[in-house]
Amino acid sequence: MVTQDQDNLEEEVGEMKKSLVDLHMKVNFIVEKQGEQGVVDPPTIPPFKSSRALLPDLIHIGKRCDLCNWKKWVVACGEVHEVDPTTHVHGAYLCKGNFSVVLIKIKASHAEL
């Protein structure tokens, strides 16, 4: 049963990798065409990095998590939204090992995260 689940997971991850590569190629194509037509300046897109580097982190997307303050008290609950280190969040790159989290429940509104 575990091996079958692992095989299914590996198959799903393989499909996700193909989808990511396909999506990136489509975005690059659209940006190139817009630039040729002079319609808009193409946006700056960070170079595509292999989704293989993201695989360990992709399993966290959609998982619930607790956010703690410096005293390790749970001050909010959230859900992992983004794990790609090349994603821009509030004007800066997310960077490796950091996740974007959507807050679901705030337990201490005055707490700094």
- The bridge status of strand 74-82 relative to strand 64-68 is antiparallel
Is pLDDT of 92 > 90?
A: no
CA nearest neighbour of 42 among 54, 51, 33:
33
Both ends of the chain: CA-CA distance in Å?
40
Q: Comparing C-alpha atoms, which of 81, 76, 80 is closest to residue 105?
A: 76
Q: Is 60 exposed, middle or buried (0-12, 13-18, 19+ CB in 10 A)?
A: middle
Q: How far apart are CA 81 and CA 64, in angstroms?
A: 10
Q: What is the pTM of this model?
A: 0.48
15-60 pLDDT tens trace: 887 777 777 777 777 767 666 555 555 455 555 555 555 667 778 8
pLDDT on residue 49: 55
- Ordered by start, the domain boundaries in the chain are 1-45, 49-113
